[in-house]
């Protein structure tokens, strides 16, 4: 399973399909085939591994085992069901880490058992679930995984009293933020941020050039936007969603195949996402400065007393130059 998890990470970090790795063992435990999923429309990891194991007209011997990071799928999409491919290949046993929560894709384990194949699940599931957390959360909730990001002073301010905020965070933090942009399917802001800050919302390298992978830029809100805003330039695709409904916007993005959204809006939009318990991950860059005043990074989130605070769990805390990066998740997710 360790090898299968390593292989999974070779697949694309974003897109509609998950990162999956697979290894085929013969009856003596020797690896005879391995593979990973390389993105939507390409063969799934199990099929790639089987093709390697069966190359040259070879056949699987009794006792062969397939080790997969995710429960083999049970539906026909752009490719066939992996559970059926494993059955037809003559695998004797299937071991997988994470269960597939999908209404259509799940159920592969039951199909395998019904065909007389031994199935063992949950092996190294903690590590696999962590690797697959974006896809698993999105599939389970039928909406994109939401990361909320902001940069602030040590006292939680996003800007000075005159509205200036460039730059609160340092170069290392900004480089990290651009890397994270390149790894998500979409960046979302409200019309207020688009009008006031006029951001490009692109993912750039440290030299200022565009990264190869650009997220979809999404602007949420009902206000009209002038076409000369930088968010409408040709550096990346932009989608406007003219609604105040966050649930509706997320549903629309999910139907479009968006699995991971990075929210970079101002305090009003951030507060709404938090209020509605729609944030799956918080990424915060804290700068060693004090600003004071009313320009908070986040506004009211309907927490009337301390015992109703929204509990978080720190997943990562480290220095980035002079700043501190904090990655946290809701306690409900842990």
Catalytic residue annotation: 46
Q: How far is CA 81 from the centre of its chain?
A: 24
Residue (of 222, 217, 301) closest to 263 by Cα position: 217
d(CA 205, CA 196): 24
- Closest by CA to 187, choosing from 171, 169, 174, 202, is 202
Query: CB neighbours of 290 closer than 8 A, spacing ≥ 6?
Result: 153, 154, 155
Distances in Å between the Cα of 273 and the Cα atoms of 197, 236, 244 are 20, 25, 12
Q: How far is 44 from 282, CA to CA, in rounded Å?
A: 31
Which ranges of the chain does DSSP label H, i.e. alpha helix? 2-8, 45-53, 82-89, 108-114, 125-131, 133-141, 171-182, 191-196, 246-255, 267-275
Q: CA 83, CA 110: separation in Å to the nearest integer?
A: 9
How would DSSP label each residue in 113-152?
A: HHTT-EEEE-TTHHHHHHHTHHHHHHHHHTS-EEEEEEEE
């Amino acid at each position: 399973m360790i090898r299968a998890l390593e292989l999974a990470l070779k697949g694309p970090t974003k897109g509609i399909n998950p990162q999956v790795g697979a290894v085929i063992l013969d009856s003596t435990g020797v690896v005879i085939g391995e593979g990973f999923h390389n993105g939507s429309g390409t063969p799934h990891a199990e099929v790639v591994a089987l093709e390697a194991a069966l190359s040259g007209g070879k056949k699987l011997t009794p006792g062969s085992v397939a080790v997969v990071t995710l429960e083999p799928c049970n539906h026909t999409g752009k490719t066939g069901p992996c559970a059926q491919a494993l059955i037809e290949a003559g695998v004797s046993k299937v071991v997988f880490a994470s269960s597939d929560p999908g209404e259509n894709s799940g159920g592969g384990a039951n199909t395998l058992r019904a065909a007389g194949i031994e199935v063992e699940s949950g092996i190294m599931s903690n590590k696999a679930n962590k690797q697959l957390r974006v896809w698993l959360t999105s599939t389970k909730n039928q909406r994109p995984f939401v990361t909320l990001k902001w940069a602030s002073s040590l006292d939680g301010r996003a800007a000075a009293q005159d509205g200036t905020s460039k730059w609160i965070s340092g170069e290392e933090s900004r480089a990290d933020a651009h890397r994270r942009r390149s790894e998500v399917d979409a960046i979302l802001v409200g019309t207020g941020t688009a009008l006031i800050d006029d951001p490009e919302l692109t993912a750039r390298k440290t030299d200022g050039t565009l990264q190869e992978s650009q997220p979809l830029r999404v602007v949420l809100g009902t206000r009209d936007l002038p076409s000369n805003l930088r968010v409408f330039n040709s550096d990346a695709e932009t989608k406007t969603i003219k609604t105040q409904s966050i649930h509706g916007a997320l549903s629309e993005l999910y139907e479009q195949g968006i699995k991971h959204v990075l929210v970079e809006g101002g305090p009003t939009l951030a507060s709404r996402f938090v209020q509605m318990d729609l944030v799956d991950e918080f990424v915060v860059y804290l700068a060693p400065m004090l600003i004071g005043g009313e320009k908070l990074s986040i506004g009211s989130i309907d927490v009337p007393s301390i015992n109703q605070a929204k509990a978080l769990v720190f997943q990562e805390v480290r220095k980035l130059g002079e700043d501190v990066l904090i990655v946290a998740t809701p306690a409900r997710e842990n």
